[in-house]
Amino acid sequence: MIVSREKMIGFLQEADHIRLKQLYFGESSPLPEYPLRIHKIPRILMPLTGEKHIRFASDGRRNDIIFTPGDVLVTHPSGWTEEVWDTEHRMISIVFFEDYIRVIAIEHNGLPPPPNGPDIFFHTKYPLNAEGRQTLGALLTANRDHRAARYNFQALMSIVLETLENQSSYLSRREMAWDRVLEVLQANFRSDIVREDIADMAKLHPAQLSRLVREQKNCTLREYMTDLRLEHALDLLKQESLSIDAIASHCGFNYTNYFIRVFRKRYGTSPAEFRKRKPM
Q: What would the pLDDT profile of 79-107 be if each residue is shown by its tens digit?
A: 889 999 999 999 999 999 888 899 999 99
pLDDT at 111 over 80: yes
Beta bridge partner(s), residue 25 = 74
CA distance 239 to 220: 30
Q: Which amino acid is at 18?
A: I
Does 35 sit behind a cis peptide bond, omega within 30 degrees of 0 on the bond before it? Answer: no
Round to the nearest angstrom and report the end-to-end CA distance of the chain. Answer: 42
CA distance 188 to 212: 17
pLDDT at 280 over 70: no
Confidence of residue 169 (pLDDT cuts 50, 70, 90): low
CA distance 117 to 129: 27
User: Model-level pTM?
Assistant: 0.80
Confidence of residue 2 (pLDDT cuts 50, 70, 90): confident
CB-based contact 223:210 (threshold 8 Å): no
- Cite the residue boundaries of each domain of the chain with CATH code 1.10.10.60: 173-277
pLDDT at 35 over 90: no
Confidence of residue 113 (pLDDT cuts 50, 70, 90): confident
Does 30 sit behind a cis peptide bond, omega within 30 degrees of 0 on the bond before it? Answer: yes
**Which listed CATH number (1.10.10.60, 1.20.1090.10, 3.90.1640.10, 3.60.20.10) goes with 173-277?**
1.10.10.60
CB-based contact 71:24 (threshold 8 Å): yes
CA distance 217 to 224: 7
pLDDT at 229 over 70: yes
What backbone phi and psi angles, to 5 degrees, belong to 252? 95, 10
> Which among 134, 90, 86, 74 is positioned nearest to 112, based on CA atoms?
86
Distance of CA 227 to the CA centre of its chain: 17
